[in-house]
């Protein structure tokens, strides 16, 4: 630094340290060249080749030039490297042989001997030449002679140990050249010395390390040795190498602690196991904490002292290396590690002491980093520092709890004692932070001083941490800190402040389905809501908790009881309902219709049986369970006709509801699959297709707002629908688990009924399932009474008694006593009255019977789909007069079917003269050209129209019965010449009835038309 | 021996959780859940770097005083998270890696090869 007379300044371990170079000889000469020398030396970097295969480095050399003194030379076994003189230089400007011989040579010899005595071989002799001086002296020898003499006398094969510096203070190219050569030499020699001396030092150090298993080995001693090396590297600005030394020490110590834990204890480690008496945290504001270093040197350091010192050094070097974020990361590791090591070594630590130490250390590290970075850098590296913020928050919190600063009443005397002890362990504030207003020390002291101060500091820290986590997108971490904060607020009896944090945390856990944290947060939230008097929210949370299987039975019962207690309270406002989502209370599992096709006629009875799975841990008495039903008429839709309904509705009648218990949220990319259906709309008049399209049935699942779809939690505001149509079931006790509930309803208006909401009321608490999905509907139809007449066989044969079946579908009409069918008799068709006519009466509430479909030709009519099991038998009274046959119908309720059979006989009619009669009741023989075309056979049929008056209508129903005429005989008397009266009888008609006029003969022609088929028909008909 | 092992779906809900001792379960759950923040950061960093993810092991995610949380990410973004007692000094990086590999293999045995990872339901035993 300067050529001061002070040979040995006290060891100052700072950046200002430079390798020592001693100067002997002409001090005035040296003083004159010193400014240039100290300026020029570091200008050019020099490559430093390293031992042990380490990469070479470019290094800028600086030196601290001190006057040579024998005391400076290290004695044997000296471990101090910082005070080690790396090079000894002898300065002379002697150019006179006489002078040389008289004084300089002796001086040099003495100098060399001292060096030899200390086996120091790093030296250099500098001869400064001065032209001006030379000129003044007349008796000068050629300059080489002095140099040669010196080389000859001292250098002994090391001629490079003697250099000439020409005119060092001039400004000429020669001077420059000379300087350059000198500096290069100086640098080379310095590096050689470093390599040699450091190498030797390292070797010694390694040897010392290898002895670590020997009993007397001391870590502290070794620490000092290796640290010396670190200092030298730091001095040479090789911070990376210096850091490596500390990291090695760190690792060595850690390994010892681990081994100690494994039972392999080293003696020296017991020094570090002294009880912790001071916990004043890390000190990072000065490069070297001499106090701690000395305590290590004296082997008095505790574990925390050693760790603190080691880290402060690492921190300093990392900051030199411009790696502040690594400081933060390492600090967190260190703090965690220290806590573990103290545990492992079973060091006794007063309660809270470590919390203090960690808290102070966190803040110290943060402040240190803030001190060397600008705001923008800090803001963009929050990810590195936030861990420390969070750790500090956590520690302050536990200190607060420990010292009774979080309780409502404030600290008691025991708490105060503990606080005093903790503060005592902090000691006095260190001078370097004494003037800092926000020093960690001051913060901690203040925070522990009063409840209010603690609150302020804790809130500041918490909010800062939450804000930082949020800003870097670590939402989960932010919410987790928030949860702690909520707990604090709850302790402080400020539930209104706690709520938002609990809700935030809960939402966060719900979003990802973490059941246990959900349960715990909910429990906290329940308490909070209870304090806040949010009855509805509290009850809702309680119901969720009562059904939560992660809680103990006792806890669940408690929350269930909370609901029941509230429900049984007499309400001030009797009409007031608390509406809660059903899901947590009970779940709708399945639904079963009776009749199973969910189609019922007006006035019919429909049963709906549902299975509700109660989630409550105890049986719950429910006043009523109500299903709100939405009614729609939809008269025009073809789909809603009785005919369509009975044919097309699925008939097993059981609808299963998907359980929504799974606590696994539906993630946004796994939304439920689209449920698409084709849709056809037909014109009501001619059933032609009007429109067609595709509809999505689960739109409400897909198009709900994303942010509100907190998949587990129902939105609290469940709208209760008030519909005119409800199904109700009163006084039900829901046992835990599955419960069967049956609703019975009498169908009133025809239309479609959609089950919309399911509500269960317990006192003033209503549990509502706002949407029943999948969609459940039942249909009510109304039907006009109908009469249907059909032959029992495929075709009726004329001339013989044939059975005809009458079917009366009562529809909405009730057949009363005395109601009868009035048949206006047809002349050519007789209704044969039997003594014992019986009618069957069926109810038509059951589903379609398969056998009825097998019989072809029936229109699909629900009324005809009677079920035999509900049949009854009634006598039929038939009264016949000339004109009218009256059939008294048996009494039958609405939506029943009456079936009976009548025998009819189609009489052969007289041959029609002058055209076919169109009169009612007259036979209408004609050819069915259609048939002919179709079958190729000739078939003569005759239609009989019967008019029937039904009791339900003022209009008559006309029914046509078609009789086939199997054959016809024609009696024809063919005259010749005379004109006899023609008698012809005909019972059937064939195709060739005319044009036989040529021969007068009696001909009875029986033309058998299609007889085999008729026979077959009549035999096969039932 | 890990104190808690969790298998977490791509969507961050837990498939499988097993922890010993059970009294600390809630703490472990919260810890693991919080550590997902770091996993998310790593995933997005990987996505930004547009590099093929070769290294499944995600290193220490979340150190705390008493526990260390390590992470592992499969190619289908199923996460394995393991909580280890900090005092258990026998567990070095290599042991943790090999534990994760074993866990991954067991997981592969359990899930069907054609199963959509997101559609997996929780298994109560591996």
pLDDT tens digits, residue range A194-218? Answer: 888 888 888 889 999 998 888 888 8
Cα–Cα distance for residue pair B61/B81, rounded to 1 Å:
9
Q: How high is the pLDDT of residue A561?
A: 93
Asked if A339 and B65 come within 8 Å (Cβ–Cβ), the reply is yes
Task: Tell me whether residues B29 and A669 touch, CB distance under 8 A.
Answer: no
What are the two backbone dihedrals, phi and then psi, of residue A824, each rounded to the nearest 5 degrees?
A: -80, 120
Going by the DSSP 8-state scheme, the letter that residue A284 receives in this structure is -
Q: Does B11 touch chain A (CB under 8 A)?
A: yes
Return the top range by mean pLDDT from A103-112, A356-365, A776-785, A804-813. Answer: A356-365
| Terminal alpha carbon distance of chain B | 16
- Distance of residue B89 Cα from the nearest chain A Cα, in angstroms: 7
For residues A673 and B21, the model is more confident at B21
The C-alpha of A769 sits at a distance from chain B's nearest C-alpha, in angstroms, of 26
Cβ contact, residue pair A476, B26, below 8 Å: no
* Tokens, residue A790: 């059909």
Provide the pLDDT for residue A874: 82
Give whole-number Cα distances, A59 to A188, A332, A662, A1018, in Å: 11, 33, 66, 124
Tens digit of each residue's pLDDT (9 = 90 or more) over A385-409: 999 999 999 999 999 999 999 887 8
**Closest by alpha carbon to A773, among A669, A607, A655?**
A655
Closest residue on chain B to A260 (Cα): B89
Alpha-carbon gap: A514 to the closest alpha carbon of chain B (Å): 6
- Taking an 8 Å cut-off on Cβ atoms, the answer to whether B118 and A669 are in contact is yes
Mean per-residue pLDDT for A330-351?
Answer: 91
Could you tell me which residues are beta bridge partners of residue A947? Answer: A824, A958
Of residues A54 and A862, which shows the higher confidence score? A54
∠ CA B77-B82-B85, rounded to 5°: 160
Judged by a CB distance cut-off of 8 A, whether residue B22 touches chain A is: no
Which two three-digit tokens encode residue A776?
């459940």
pLDDT in tens, A1001-1016: 544 544 444 544 544 5
Grouping H, G, I as helix, E, B as strand and the rest as coil, residue A525 is helix
Closest CB from B26, B64, B87 relative to A517: B26
With 90 as the cut, is the pLDDT of residue A470 above it?
Answer: yes
A477 chain-B contacts, CB cut-off 8 A: 34, 37
Residue A48 predicted with pLDDT over 60: yes
Of A284-298, A352-366, A893-907, A929-943, least confident by mean pLDDT is: A929-943
Taking the C-alpha atoms of residue A534 and residue A940, their distance in angstroms, rounded to an integer, is 89
Which pLDDT value is given to residue A734? 92
* Nearest residue of chain A to residue B44 (CA atoms): A473
At A930 the pLDDT is: 38
Highest mean pLDDT pick, A452-466, A685-699, A923-937: A452-466
The residue of chain A with its CA nearest to that of B9 is: A512
Over 60: is that where the pLDDT of A714 sits?
A: no
Poorest-confidence range of A119-123, A666-670, A727-731? A666-670
What's the pLDDT at A925?
Answer: 47
pLDDT at res. B112:
61
The answer, yes or no, to whether residue A924 has pLDDT greater than 50, is no
Is B52 within 8 Å of chain A by CB?
Answer: no
Give residue A272's pLDDT: 85
- Of A69-83, A249-263, A990-1004, B62-76, give the lowest mean pLDDT range: A990-1004
Is B87 in Cβ contact with A476 (below 8 Å)?
A: no
Residues paired with A590 in a beta bridge? A611, A656
> Among A436, A454, A442, which residue's Cα sits nearest to residue A398?
A454
Which residues, in sequence order, are CB contacts of B59 under 8 Å at separation 6+?
A: B70, B71
Pairing mode of beta strands A64-67, A820-824: unpaired
Q: How far is CA A7 from CA A3, A4, A117, A519, A611, in A?
A: 9, 7, 19, 73, 99
The confidence score (pLDDT) of residue A725 equals: 83
Q: For residues A279 and A10, what is the distance between their CA atoms, to the nearest angstrom?
A: 30
Please tell me the distance from the alpha carbon of residue A253 to that of residue A358, in angstroms, as a whole number: 20
Residue A122 has pLDDT above 60, yes or no: yes
Is B11 in Cβ contact with A512 (below 8 Å)?
A: yes
Model pLDDT, residue A541: 92
The C-alpha of A157 sits at a distance from chain B's nearest C-alpha, in angstroms, of 56
Query: A864 pLDDT exceeds 80?
Result: no
Structure tokens at A391: 């750790």
DSSP string, A626-689: EEEEEEE--TT-GGGSHHHHHHHS-SS-EEEPPP----S---GGGPPPP-EEEEEEE-TTT--E
| Nearest-by-CA chain B residue for A476 | B34
Quickly state the pLDDT bin for A458 (edges 50, 70, 90): very high
Percent of chain A with pLDDT over 70: 81
Q: Which of A340, A475, A665 sits opposite B86 (nearest CB)?
A: A340
Q: Is A754 exposed, middle or buried (0-12, 13-18, 19+ CB in 10 A)?
A: middle
Is the pLDDT at A854 greater than 90? The verdict is no
Q: What is the mean pLDDT of residues A300-304?
A: 88
pLDDT value at residue A984 = 45
Closest CA to A802 of A810, A813, A789, A793: A793
Least confident span in A83-97, A294-308, A704-718, A802-816: A704-718
Q: Report pLDDT for B44.
A: 87
Indicate the range of A414-418, A797-801, A941-945, B110-114 predicted with least confidence. Answer: B110-114
Identify all chain A residues contacting B47, using CB atoms and an 8 Å cutoff. Answer: none
Facing residue for B26 by CB, picked from A258, A516, A669? A516
A362 CA: distance to closest CA in chain B (Å): 13
Averaged pLDDT, A856-869: 38
Q: Does B59 touch chain A (CB under 8 A)?
A: no
User: Quick one: closest CA in A to B87, which residue?
Assistant: A340
What interhelical angle do A515-532 and B25-49 show, nearest 10? 110
Average pLDDT score over residue span A580-609: 86
CB pairs under 8 A between A and B: 73
What is the bridge-based pairing of β-strands A620-632 and B4-8? unpaired
ipTM above 0.95, yes or no: no
CA A357 to chain centre: 37
A474-528 pLDDT per residue, tens? 999 999 999 999 999 999 889 999 999 999 999 999 998 898 999 999 999 999 9
With CA atoms as reference, the chain A residue closest to B121 would be A664
Measured between beta carbons, which residues in chain A are less than 8 angstroms from residue B86? 336, 340
Query: Does residue A327 surpass a pLDDT of 90?
Result: yes
Q: For strand A85-92 and strand A586-594, is the pairing parallel, antiparallel, or unpaired?
A: unpaired
Nearest-CA distance A216 → chain B (Å): 27
Q: Which of residues 70-89 of B touch A (CB under 8 A)?
A: 86-87, 89
Q: Which of B9, B37, B59 to mutate to test the interface with A (most CBs of A within 10 A)?
A: B37
pLDDT given for residue A144 in this prediction = 53
Inter-chain touch B37–A667, beta carbons under 8 Å: no
Q: Which letter does DSSP use for residue A158 in this model?
A: -
- What token pair was written down for A922? 């007259």
Q: What residues in chain B have per-residue pLDDT under 70?
A: 50-53, 112-126
Residue B72: the pLDDT is 92
**A661: closest CA of chain B, how far (Å):** 13
B37 touches A: beta carbon within 8 Å: yes
**Least CB–CB distance from B33: residue in A332, A476, A662:** A476
Classified as helix, coil or strand, A365 is: helix
CA distance B32 to chain A (A): 10
A622 within 8 A of A762, measured Cβ to Cβ = yes
Q: Check A667 against B118: CB less than 8 A apart.
A: yes
Q: Do B63 and A383 touch (CB under 8 A)?
A: no
For chain A, helix, strand, coil in percent to 5 are: 40, 25, 35
Nearest CA in chain B to A338: B65
Predicted pLDDT of residue A386: 93
Reply yes or no on whether the pLDDT at A719 is more than 70: no
Nearest-angstrom CA–CA distance, A459 and A448: 14
Task: Answer whether A514 sits within 8 Å of B89, measured CB to CB.
Answer: no
The whole-number pLDDT of residue A399 equals 94
Radius of gyration of chain B (CA): 14
**∠ CA(A470), CA(A476), CA(A477), 5° rounding?**
70
Query: B108 at the A interface (CB within 8 A)?
Result: no
Indicate if the pLDDT at residue A430 is higher than 90: no
What percentage of chain A reaches a pLDDT higher than 90?
A: 24
Question: From CA A932, how far away is CA A914, in angstroms rounded?
Answer: 24
Across the interface, whether the CB atoms of A517 and B121 are under 8 A apart is answered no
């Amino acid at each position: 630094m300067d050529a001061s007379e002070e040979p040995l300044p006290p060891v100052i371990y700072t950046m200002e340290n430079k390798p020592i170079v001693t100067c002997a000889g002409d001090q005035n000469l040296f003083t004159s060249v010193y400014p240039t020398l100290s300026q020029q030396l570091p200008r050019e970097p020099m490559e430093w080749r390293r031992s042990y295969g380490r990469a070479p480095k470019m290094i800028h050399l600086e030196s601290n030039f001190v006057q040579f003194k024998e005391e400076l030379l290290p004695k044997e076994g000296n471990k101090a490297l910082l005070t080690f003189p790396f090079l000894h230089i002898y300065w002379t400007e002697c150019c006179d042989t006489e002078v040389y011989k008289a004084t300089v040579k002796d001086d040099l010899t003495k100098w060399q001997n001292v060096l030899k005595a200390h086996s120091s071989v790093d030296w250099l002799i500098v001869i400064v030449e001065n032209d001006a001086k030379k000129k003044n002296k007349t008796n000068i020898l050629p300059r080489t002679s002095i140099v040669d003499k010196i080389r000859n006398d001292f250098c002994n094969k090391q001629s490079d140990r003697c250099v000439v510096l020409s005119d060092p203070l001039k400004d000429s190219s020669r001077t420059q050249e000379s300087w350059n050569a000198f500096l290069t030499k100086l640098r080379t020699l310095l590096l050689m010395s470093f390599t040699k001396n450091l190498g030797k030092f390292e070797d010694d150090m390694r040897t010392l390390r290898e002895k670590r298993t020997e009993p007397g080995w001391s870590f502290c001693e070794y620490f000092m040795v290796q640290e010396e090396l670190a200092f030298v590297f730091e001095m040479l600005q090789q911070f990376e190498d210096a850091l490596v030394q500390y990291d090695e020490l760190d690792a060595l110590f850690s390994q010892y602690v681990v081994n100690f834990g494994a039972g392999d204890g080293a003696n020296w480690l017991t020094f570090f196991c002294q009880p912790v008496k001071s916990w004043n945290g890390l000190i990072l504001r000065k490069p070297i904490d001499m106090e701690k270093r000395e305590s290590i040197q004296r082997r008095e350091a505790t574990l925390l002292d050693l760790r603190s010192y080691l880290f402060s050094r690492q921190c300093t070097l990392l900051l030199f290396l411009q790696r502040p974020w690594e400081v933060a990361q390492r600090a967190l590791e260190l703090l965690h590690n220290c806590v573990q090591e103290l545990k492992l070594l079973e060091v006794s630590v007063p309660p809270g002491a470590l919390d203090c130490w960690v808290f102070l250390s966190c803040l110290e590290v943060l402040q240190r980093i803030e001190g060397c970075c600008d705001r923008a850098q800090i803001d963009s590296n929050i990810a590195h520092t936030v861990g420390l913020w969070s750790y500090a928050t956590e520690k302050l919190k536990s200190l607060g709890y420990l010292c009774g600063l979080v309780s409502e009443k404030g600290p008691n005397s025991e708490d105060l004692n503990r606080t005093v002890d903790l503060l005592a362990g902090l000691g006095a504030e260190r001078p370097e932070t004494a003037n800092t207003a926000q020093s960690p020390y001051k913060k901690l002291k203040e925070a522990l001083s009063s409840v209010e101060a603690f609150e302020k500091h804790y809130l500041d820290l918490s909010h800062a941490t939450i804000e930082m986590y949020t800003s870097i997108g670590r939402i989960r971490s932010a919410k987790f800190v928030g949860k702690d904060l909520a707990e604090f607020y709850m302790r402080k009896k400020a539930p209104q402040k706690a709520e938002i944090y609990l809700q935030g945390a809960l939402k966060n856990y719900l979003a990802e389905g973490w059941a246990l944290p959900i349960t715990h947060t909910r429990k906290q939230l329940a308490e909070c809501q209870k304090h806040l008097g949010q009855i509805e929210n509290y009850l809702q949370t309680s119901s969720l908790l009562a059904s939560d299987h992660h809680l103990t039975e006792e806890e669940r019962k408690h929350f269930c009881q909370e609901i029941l207690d509230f429900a049984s309270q007499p309400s001030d406002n009797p009409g007031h309902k608390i509406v809660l989502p059903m899901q947590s209370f009970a779940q709708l599992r399945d639904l079963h219709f009776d009749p199973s096709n969910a189609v019922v006629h007006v006035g019919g009875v429909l049963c709906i049986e549902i299975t509700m799975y109660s989630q409550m841990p105890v049986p719950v008495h429910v006043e009523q369970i109500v299903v709100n039903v939405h009614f729609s008429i939809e008269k025009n839709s073809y789909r809603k006709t009785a005919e369509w309904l009975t044919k097309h509705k699925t008939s097993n009648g059981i609808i299963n509801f998907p359980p929504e218990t799974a606590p696994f949220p539906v993630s946004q990319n796994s939304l439920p699959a689209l449920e698409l259906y084709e849709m056809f709309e037909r014109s009501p008049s001619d059933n032609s297709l009007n429109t067609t399209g595709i509809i999505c049935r689960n739109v409400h699942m897909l198009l709900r707002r994303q942010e509100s779809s907190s998949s587990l939690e129902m939105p609290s505001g469940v709208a209760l629908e008030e519909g005119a149509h409800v199904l109700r079931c009163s006084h039900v006790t829901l046992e835990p688990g599955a419960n069967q509930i049956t609703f019975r309803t009498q169908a009133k208006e025809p239309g479609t009924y959609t089950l919309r909401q399911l509500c269960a009321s317990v006192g003033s608490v209503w549990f509502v399932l706002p949407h029943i999905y999948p969609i459940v509907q039942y249909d009510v139809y109304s039907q006009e009474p109908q009469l249907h007449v059909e032959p029992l066989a495929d075709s009726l044969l004329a001339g013989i008694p044939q059975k005809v079946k009458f079917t009366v579908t009562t529809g909405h009409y009730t057949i009363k006593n005395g109601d009868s069918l009035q048949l206006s008799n047809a002349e050519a068709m007789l209704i044969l009255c039997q003594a014992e006519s019986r009618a069957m009466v069926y109810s038509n509430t059951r589903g379609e019977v398969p056998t009825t479909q097998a019989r072809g030709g029936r229109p699909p009519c629900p009324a005809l789909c009677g079920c035999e099991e509900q049949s009854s038998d009634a006598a039929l009274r038939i009264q016949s007069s000339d004109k009218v046959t009256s059939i008294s119908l048996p009494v039958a309720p609405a939506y029943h079917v009456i079936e009976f059979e009548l025998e009819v006989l189609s009489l052969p009619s007289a041959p029609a003269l002058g055209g076919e009669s169109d009169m009612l009741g007259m036979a209408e023989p004609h050819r069915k050209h259609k048939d002919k075309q179709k079958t190729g056979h000739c078939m003569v049929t005759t239609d009989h129209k019967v008019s029937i008056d039904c009791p339900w209508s003022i209009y008559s129903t006309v029914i046509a019965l078609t009789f086939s005429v199997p054959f016809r005989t024609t009696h024809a008397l063919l005259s010749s010449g005379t004109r006899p009266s023609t008698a012809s009888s005909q019972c059937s008609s064939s195709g060739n009835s005319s044009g036989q006029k040529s021969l007068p003969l009696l001909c009875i022609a029986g033309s058998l038309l299609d007889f085999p088929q008729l026979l077959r028909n009549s035999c096969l008909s039932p | 021996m890990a104190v808690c092992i969790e298998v977490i779906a791509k969507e961050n809900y837990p498939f499988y959780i097993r922890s010993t001792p059970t009294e600390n379960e809630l703490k472990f759950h919260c810890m693991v859940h919080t550590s997902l923040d770091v996993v998310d950061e790593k995933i997005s960093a990987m996505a930004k770097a547009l590099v093929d993810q070769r290294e499944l092991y995600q290193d220490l995610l979340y150190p705390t005083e008493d526990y260390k949380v390590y992470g592992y990410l499969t190619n289908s973004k199923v996460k394995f998270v393991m909580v280890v007692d900090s005092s258990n000094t026998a567990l070095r990086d290599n042991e943790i890696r090999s534990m994760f590999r074993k866990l991954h293999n067991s997981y592969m045995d359990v899930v069907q090869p054609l199963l959509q990872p997101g559609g997996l339901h929780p298994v109560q035993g591996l």
